[in-house]
Amino acid sequence: MRKRTGSIKIGGFDYAIFADDEVSIGGDRNVYGYCDTQNLEIVYYSRLKEEKAQQVILHEVLHAVMAHIGIQAEDEEEFVLSLGNQLHQVLADEGFVFKIDTLD
C-alpha cells in the first residue's frame, strides 16, 4: 500500500513523497525508490530504516534536479549514486533530514 509521507519543492514543482510496500522500475523490484518527473512523485520502499529512506529520497531528489535543469548523462545512475551518498553523509552529519511522516 502506498502512503504519502511528505512533499518537497524541486525546480519550482511540488513533488509528493510516498512510501510504498512495493517499488519497481520496469518490472525490476530490486530497487529502493524512484522519481517520476512527469507525475511529480518520489517513491521509496516503505520498509527501509529511516536513515536509508533519507538517503534514497535525496538520491531521487538529485535525479529530479538533473531532469529539471536538463542535464542528461550517460552514467547518470552512477553519478547520482556517488553524489547522493556523499551528500547524504555530509548532510546527515549536520543534522539535516527530510521531513517525512514515518508514523503508521
Nearer of residues 51 and 101 to Zn ion, judged by Cβ: 51
Taking the complex as a whole, the smallest distance from the CB of residue 88 to Zn ion amounts, in Å, to 13
Site string for Zn ion, 28-67 (x = CB under 5 A): ----------------------------------------
Taking the complex as a whole, the smallest distance from the CB of residue 33 to Zn ion amounts, in Å, to 8
Taking the complex as a whole, the smallest distance from the CB of residue 50 to Zn ion amounts, in Å, to 19
Stretch that binds Zn ion, among 7-15, 24-32, 43-51, 75-83 (CB under 5 A): 75-83
**Beta-bridge mates of residue 43:** 18, 34
Cell of 18: 510516498
Cα atoms found within 13 Å of the Cα of residue 55, Cβ hemisphere only: 15
Nearer of residues 5 and 33 to Zn ion, judged by Cβ: 33
Burial class (CB in 10 A: 0-12, 13-18, 19+), 92: middle
Cell of 30: 530490486
d(CA 29, CA 23): 6
